[in-house]
Structure 1
């Protein structure tokens, strides 16, 4: 029997369609005025954290709301260190040239001669990951020739290796140079920024108002209900409303058939999880990486027995896709239910699976039952 498809109920919160994904919803602390630290605690207790902003498009979407106050706290705060390695190791060796007055943030590439260069973090470059060694397997390096921004390179290295490479000596610098000789310049794990996001996210987007951030005030408020949405460095003890966020992805760690999983997601959340974009895929990969599962996990993917095309459980057509092998499974050989791999050579790729097999599964949206 072909299972009917269900429409998702829209969340009452504002869910952003810009980066990082459609799973992210933002919440204003309406009529609650707090210091930055109190706002951070409130957001972490009731949602996920203070909001990170990734782009001008997202800033305009989530801040173009009249809140009754012209400003809200966001998750940006001055950090203790302006230069840091991606993996948190202390910077005790450098081959950087002077930053020639460029505005931060900026990130570091290694050139063919082994010297380092500071460039805009949004540029796309190859990058060097490292794999943490042990007694029998020493530290190793892996050059990724795909070109990505620094933040995307960091995300890739953390998902598939250990992290972007850090360098602590001239000997290590020479080894990294040799490994990357075919793709110079390439990203290494050094980033220069005086600011960091409350949730630890990597976003180098800044939208400072003229004259900001200055040297004294350490927390950031964003203007709302206007066309500019500019940011102002403010005293952390000032009181404003806050902008919180929560990612509405739910990894259900009980095994069910595809149709039983569909029923569960519709009854307890807003529906079976769907993936609409590369941003959705990347956000889901991060969640699955943290969950430490193995084997395929059900998505809200189903194939029409009659027409052979794939569709999401809420009735949406499949636009962007990430099928194993690069093309969707076709009848008559395909199974008609879809899953995402969490391990093995096809990690995070989509595949068709027998609908009667039992797997973990993914729901999205608010918990509508209070479970």
Structure 2
């Protein structure tokens, strides 16, 4: 979802601001991703906003385990996949990983080594989409960019190609809802790491989060068993003696006004400190604070922008080093294609069986089985 932000210079309580935004826009501002945060900062600076203003975050008293990076191409912020060694301590609000891959909760003030991860949120803020007409064509593109990683590329030089069965004279052709195109490209990716960096300097969870974000990353997300195994392997290869390292797992009791599942938080270091149950944005510090909901302040609304969707069918070939079932590989492919398609936002379509790619022979067998059932 693309969110456009609007500064309203009228003094209202949080509840009044919520009603105003819902009547005139979509809702009080939800900041769901790092790109959203960049866009919010840009809009408030352009409007010359200097006063602390309400956003759509409010404390509910119901806690959930979340991921630091917020909304990403790979999912929303709720921690749906978990690998706890035991039930998290109710007094702990931050989580880490042991060398055996199991998770433990801990007090957020505990100082531990931590893992940063690059490339887990979109870098394409403020994208303007272009709609092509049904008969419009556009030249096929070549992609030769490397995926950034902190380690030596495991699959350097692996060549994959996207075939275009319906291409005409090397050009892309767009139907009403299906785009088929050819893009040869090279993938340079550290399979299984996803741009993971282990930082041995011990910091509190919030300090670790700040460190990662200052380096264009965030604390590591673990949204599947495969990603958990990849992170475990990286820790064991670099520092197997560590008892626990911070990852991007945390628990809080705050919810967005529109009930979205985004877990992005940009609190100032001392916040929230129980000053109130509603959140505001400070333009001078570009951080969030908690305040009493009845105080009257300016506020920020958002309007969801309608987005058009196209289905893109791809055929890929690779050498033995690449496994398309590897989520890191699929992310690397998507990131490289995205860099060349600046006017649209791309994401993989997950099949009903939970996979993105299927081998051709698998599809052939499925089709044959369907035909046999019809006989």
If the length of structure 2 is used for normalisation, what is the TM-score? 0.40
Higher RCO (C-alpha 8 Å, min separation 6): 2
If the length of structure 1 is used for normalisation, what is the TM-score? 0.41
